[in-house]
Amino acid sequence: MEQRLELLEKALKDTQKELKKYQDQERKRDQIWASWSPPAEGQKRKTGGATAGPKTAVKPDAVLVKNQQPVTDGAPAYSAMTLKDFSKFVKDEIGFSYNGYFRSGWGTASHGSPKSWAIGSLGRLGNEYSGWFDLQLKQRVFQEGDKRVDAIVMLDGNVGQQYSTGWFGDNAGGENYIQFSDMYVNTKGFLPFAPEADFWVGKHGAPKIEIQMLDWKTQRTDAAAGVGLENWQVGAGKFDIALIREDVDDYDRSLSNKQQINTNTLDVSLQRDSAVG
Candidates 186, 189, 184, 185; CA nearest to 144 is 189
The reported pLDDT for the residue numbered 26 is: 67
Per-residue b/e over 146-166, b at no fewer than 16 CB within 10 Å?
Answer: eebbbbbbbbbbbbbbeeeeb
Average pLDDT, the chain: 80
The reported pLDDT for the residue numbered 117 is: 77
The reported pLDDT for the residue numbered 100 is: 93
In a domain, 70, yes or no: yes
One-letter amino acid of 156: D
CA distance 54 to 48: 16
Candidates 138, 142, 223, 140; CA nearest to 181 is 223
CA distance 268 to 248: 21
In a domain, 210, yes or no: no
Q: pLDDT tens per residue, the chain (277 residues)?
A: 666 777 777 877 888 887 777 777 666 655 555 444 455 555 555 545 555 555 666 666 677 676 666 656 656 666 777 878 878 888 888 999 999 988 888 888 887 777 777 777 777 766 778 888 999 999 999 999 999 999 999 999 988 888 887 778 766 667 888 999 999 999 999 999 999 999 999 999 888 888 877 777 887 888 889 999 999 998 888 999 999 999 999 999 998 999 999 999 999 988 876 554 4
Count of the separate structural domains present in the chain: 1
CA distance 125 to 212: 8
The reported pLDDT for the residue numbered 56 is: 64
In a domain, 245, yes or no: no
In a domain, 197, yes or no: no
In a domain, 66, yes or no: yes
In a domain, 80, yes or no: yes
The reported pLDDT for the residue numbered 144 is: 93
The reported pLDDT for the residue numbered 70 is: 60
Q: Please check whether residue 107 is in contact with residue 113, taking contact to mean a CB–CB distance below 8 angstroms.
A: yes
Specify burial of residue 26 (Cβ count, 10 A radius: 0-12, 13-18, 19+).
Answer: exposed
Candidates 221, 153, 157; CA nearest to 183 is 153
Summarised one tens digit per residue, pLDDT across range 65-96 is 766 666 566 566 667 778 788 788 888 889 99
- pTM metric for this prediction: 0.68
The reported pLDDT for the residue numbered 35 is: 45
The reported pLDDT for the residue numbered 201 is: 97
The reported pLDDT for the residue numbered 75 is: 63
DSSP-derived pairing of the beta strands 237-251 and 258-272: antiparallel
The reported pLDDT for the residue numbered 109 is: 82
Summarised one tens digit per residue, pLDDT across range 97-112 is 999 988 888 888 887 7
Q: Please check whether residue 203 is in contact with residue 186, taking contact to mean a CB–CB distance below 8 angstroms.
A: no
Alpha helix (H) ranges present in the chain? 2-32, 83-94
In a domain, 71, yes or no: yes
Candidates 219, 240, 241, 220; CA nearest to 231 is 240
Three-state DSSP class for residue 54: coil
In a domain, 75, yes or no: yes
The reported pLDDT for the residue numbered 113 is: 78
Summarised one tens digit per residue, pLDDT across range 245-270 is 999 999 999 989 999 999 999 999 88
Show the domain range for 90.
59-94
The reported pLDDT for the residue numbered 76 is: 62
